[in-house]
Amino acid sequence: MDKILRIDMGAAGGPRTTTSSIGDYAGLGGRGLTSAIVSGEVPPLCHPLGGENKLVIAPGLLSGTAGAMTGRLSIGTKSPLTGGIKEANSGGQAAQVLARLGYAAIVIEGKPGDDTLYKVFINKDGVRITPDNSLKKLPNYDLVERMKEEFGNKIACISIGPAGEMKMSAASIAVTDMELRPTRHAGRGGVGAVMGAKGIKVIVLDDEGMGMRTAADPEKFKEANKRFVDGLRKHPVTGQGLPAYGTNVLTNILNEAGGYPTYNFKQGRFDGAHQISGETQAETENQRGGAGSATHGCHRGCVIRCSGTYYDKDGHYLTKQPEYETVWAHGGNCGICDLDAIAKLDFMDDNYGLDTIEMGVTIGVAMEAGLIKFGDAEGAIRLMEEVGKGTPLGRILGNGAAVTGKVFGVERVPVVKGQGLPAYDPRAVQGIGVTYATSPMGADHTAGYAVTANILKVGGSVDPLKPEGQIALSRDLQIATAAIDSTGMCLFIAFALLDQPDTFQAMLDMINAFHGLNMTAEDVVALGKKILSMERNFNARAGFTAQHDRLPRFFKTEAIAPHNVTFDVKDEDLDQVFNW
Residue 266 is a binding residue for a copy of itself (CB under 8 A): no
Only one of the segments 96-104, 119-127, 319-327, 387-395 lies at the binding site for a copy of itself (rule: CB under 8 A); that segment is 387-395
Only one of the segments 205-213, 229-237, 339-347, 538-546 lies at the binding site for a copy of itself (rule: CB under 8 A); that segment is 538-546
Which residues does residue 109 pair with via DSSP β-bridges, in sequence order?
A: 8
Residue 114 is a binding residue for a copy of itself (CB under 8 A): no
Contact pick of 20, 26, 41, 43 for a copy of itself (by CB under 8 A): 43
Q: Pick between residue 344 and residue 548 the one whose CB is nearest to a copy of itself.
A: 548
Alpha-carbon gap, residue 497 to 477, rounded angstroms: 11
Q: Which of residues 189-248 bind a copy of itself (CB under 8 A)?
A: 193, 196-197
Q: How far is the CB of 400 from a copy of itself (least distance, A)?
A: 9
Q: Are 260 and 276 in contact (CB under 8 A)?
A: no
Residue 392 is a binding residue for a copy of itself (CB under 8 A): yes
- The full DSSP string for 419-484 is EE--SS-TTTSHHHHHHHHH-TTSS-STTS-THIIIII--SS---TTSSTTHHHHHHHHHHHHHHH
Alpha-carbon gap, residue 11 to 35, rounded angstroms: 24
Cα 451 from chain centre: 17
Contact pick of 6, 86, 119, 167 for a copy of itself (by CB under 8 A): 167
Cis peptide preceding 131, ω within 30 of 0: no
The backbone region for 126, taken as left when phi is positive above 0, alpha when psi lies in -120 to 50, beta otherwise, is left
Q: Which of residues 459-478 bind a copy of itself (CB under 8 A)?
A: none
Q: Pick between residue 23 and residue 392 the one whose CB is nearest to a copy of itself.
A: 392
Q: Pick between residue 98 and residue 194 the one whose CB is nearest to a copy of itself.
A: 194
Alpha-carbon gap, residue 450 to 472, rounded angstroms: 10
Interior/surface letters 559-578, b for 16+ CB within 10 angstroms, e for the rest? ebeebebebbbeeeebeebb
Only one of the segments 67-75, 160-168, 289-297, 529-537 lies at the binding site for a copy of itself (rule: CB under 8 A); that segment is 160-168
Q: How far is the CB of 164 from a copy of itself (least distance, A)?
A: 10
Helix (H, G, I), strand (E, B) or coil at 229: helix
Contact pick of 153, 518, 547, 579 for a copy of itself (by CB under 8 A): 547
Q: How far is the CB of 548 from a copy of itself (least distance, A)?
A: 5
Handedness of CA 167, 171, 177, 181 (dihedral sign): negative
Contact pick of 292, 554, 566, 578 for a copy of itself (by CB under 8 A): 554
The interface mask with a copy of itself, positions 49-88, x = CB under 8 A, is: xx-x---------------------------x--------
Q: How far is the CB of 553 from a copy of itself (least distance, A)?
A: 6
Alpha-carbon gap, residue 473 to 476, rounded angstroms: 5
Strands of 164-242 (E only): list them. Answer: 173-175, 184-186, 200-205
Interior/surface letters 271-293, b for 16+ CB within 10 angstroms, e for the rest? ebbeebbbebbbebbeebeeeeb
Contact pick of 160, 168, 273, 455 for a copy of itself (by CB under 8 A): 168
Contact pick of 130, 391, 461, 576 for a copy of itself (by CB under 8 A): 391
Strand (E) or helix (H) holding 57: strand 55-59
Residue 372 is a binding residue for a copy of itself (CB under 8 A): no
Alpha-carbon gap, residue 117 to 364, rounded angstroms: 33
Q: Pick between residue 219 and residue 411 the one whose CB is nearest to a copy of itself.
A: 411
Helices and strands counted in the chain (H then E): 25, 16
Q: Pick between residue 257 and residue 415 the one whose CB is nearest to a copy of itself.
A: 415
Q: Are 124 and 61 in contact (CB under 8 A)?
A: no
Residue 568 is a binding residue for a copy of itself (CB under 8 A): no
Q: What residues line the site for a copy of itself (CB under 8 A)?
A: 43-47, 49-50, 52, 80, 166-169, 193, 196-197, 391-393, 395-396, 399, 403, 406-409, 411, 413, 541-545, 547-548, 550, 552-554
